[in-house]
Amino acid sequence: MSKIYDKESINEGRKNAPATPEERLKLGKPVKRAYGGMMHTPSPGLSITFDVAENEKIITRGGAYIVFGSDRPSDLASGLGAQGATSATIDLVVGRCASARNGKGPRNGTVVQNNFAADAARIYISQLTNLDTNFGVQPGRLPQDSPRSGIGIKADRVNIIGREGVKIITGGMQGISGTGLKGELNSLGGKLESSPKIDLIAGNNVKQKKIVNTSFAVGEGSRWPFETIQYLQPVVKGDNLVKCFEDLSSILDDVNATIMNLSLAVIKALTAIAAAPVGPNGSPVLGAPLVNPLTSAITRAASPTYTARLGKSAWERNFLTARSSLRITSENVSTT
């Protein structure tokens, strides 16, 4: 039954009511709480429905989901879970289809699937999955994508913070017992590579690109030659590069010595020619006492040239070839 108030009683109640929430709290009166998401109150949000698979258990609250199930990158027909493979998976996702409709998100009442492109942020942990394929990642120099256990992390930004350092490591454990005679194996019991690769790919691009090679001159009217290079390249090893430059510096010293000795020999020859007696036809007379010292000087000038050539060959073998012991580029870590 409704209770009827007249205008006078309403105005009287307003006049005697505490003016601020603090006054109402002191009098033990109720105070209206924040709502609509303010002060961590429930947000109205969107009313969407996630298409739950029969083998999935879900914990959800305010647009955040923890899904226990099998490998499922999109709809119910996707992933290894749809093929019946044993692929236990935990999918932590927030903001389903957040970037749909240019960031407006899905319409109210929409039934949504997993969407690794449009969902706002995700940590995907699976016993068996095709990680590169599901997240649309270029393979780079790593082995071809195949079913393996995997963890995928995706968001607008991802920070990895270590107050005392961060390590990115591939390969099996070292110095730990319990790995068996064959050492640590992958999740399918397969043998691990000795040094699995690391790719640092900016822009998800590993294609080749053409550049103009201006390192040598071309004839007049000719076009500059183009050179194709790999966008994803091995990183440089700092210590080896320093050693490489030190050895190159030594080779350049030999070259400079050659030029200096040759210059002195030329000066000596020109001086001798200038001081030589002049014959009847006006030409210098170069006898053996003059020619022999000049030949000796030029021979001394050429000697460092031979040393420099030997040093250059050794330098290339040590630092630039695929089997170089001090190769300046890494065989296992690449970057764009």
What integer pLDDT is reported at residue 129 of this predicted model? 97
**Which range, 36-50, 56-70, 294-308, is most confident?**
56-70
- Per residue in 136-185, pLDDT (tens digit) is 998 888 877 889 999 999 999 999 999 999 999 998 888 776 666 778 88
What integer pLDDT is reported at residue 69 of this predicted model? 98
**Which range, 113-117, 287-291, 294-298, is most confident?**
113-117
pLDDT at 73 over 80: yes
Q: Residue type at 105?
A: G
Worst-scoring range by mean pLDDT, 25-39, 85-99, 156-170? 25-39
Cβ neighbours of residue 269 under 8 Å, at least 6 residues apart? 294, 297, 298
Query: In which residue are the tokens 């913070």 written?
Result: 161
Residue that wins the pLDDT comparison between 265 and 160: 160
pLDDT at 301 over 80: no
Band of pLDDT at residue 3, cut at 50, 70 and 90: very low
pLDDT at 7 over 70: no
Q: Which pTM does this prediction carry?
A: 0.72
Q: Could you tell me the CA-to-CA distances from 331 to 139, 205, 233, 236, 325 in Å, in that order?
A: 16, 20, 10, 10, 12
Distance CA 273, CA 291 (A): 10
| Residue 235 near residue 333, CB atoms below 8 Å | yes
**Which range, 120-124, 141-145, 181-185, 326-330, is most confident?**
120-124
Burial tier of 278 (Cβ tally within 10 Å: 0-12, 13-18, 19+): exposed
Q: Map out the domains of the chain as residue ranges.
A: 7-40, 49-196, 238-335
* Paired strand residues for 49: 111
pLDDT at 59 over 90: yes
Biggest distance spanned by C-alpha atoms of the chain: 146
Q: Could you tell me the CA-to-CA distances from 231 to 215, 225, 336 in Å, in that order?
A: 19, 19, 6
The chain-wide mean pLDDT, for the chain, equals 82
Residue that wins the pLDDT comparison between 68 and 215: 68
* Paired strand residues for 112: 50
Band of pLDDT at residue 237, cut at 50, 70 and 90: very high
Worst-scoring range by mean pLDDT, 27-41, 67-81, 185-199? 27-41
What integer pLDDT is reported at residue 223 of this predicted model? 60
The length of the chain in residues reads 336
pLDDT at 288 over 90: no
Band of pLDDT at residue 302, cut at 50, 70 and 90: low
Average pLDDT over residues 310-333: 88
Residue that wins the pLDDT comparison between 76 and 9: 76
Distance CA 266, CA 260 (A): 10
What integer pLDDT is reported at residue 9 of this predicted model? 46
Residue that wins the pLDDT comparison between 307 and 329: 329
Average pLDDT over residues 24-41: 74
Question: Can you state the percent helix, strand and coil of the chain, rounding each to 5?
Answer: 30, 20, 50
Distance CA 58, CA 93 (A): 11
pLDDT at 273 over 70: no
Band of pLDDT at residue 2, cut at 50, 70 and 90: very low
Average pLDDT over residues 183-196: 87
What integer pLDDT is reported at residue 99 of this predicted model? 94
Helix (H, G, I), strand (E, B) or coil at 220: coil
Residue that wins the pLDDT comparison between 248 and 222: 248
Residue that wins the pLDDT comparison between 142 and 51: 51
3-class secondary structure per residue, 270-285? HHHHHHCCECCCCCEC
Worst-scoring range by mean pLDDT, 64-73, 77-86, 140-149, 237-246? 140-149
Distance CA 294, CA 302 (A): 13
Q: Which two tokens stand for residue 180?
A: 């068996």
Distance CA 87, CA 69 (A): 8
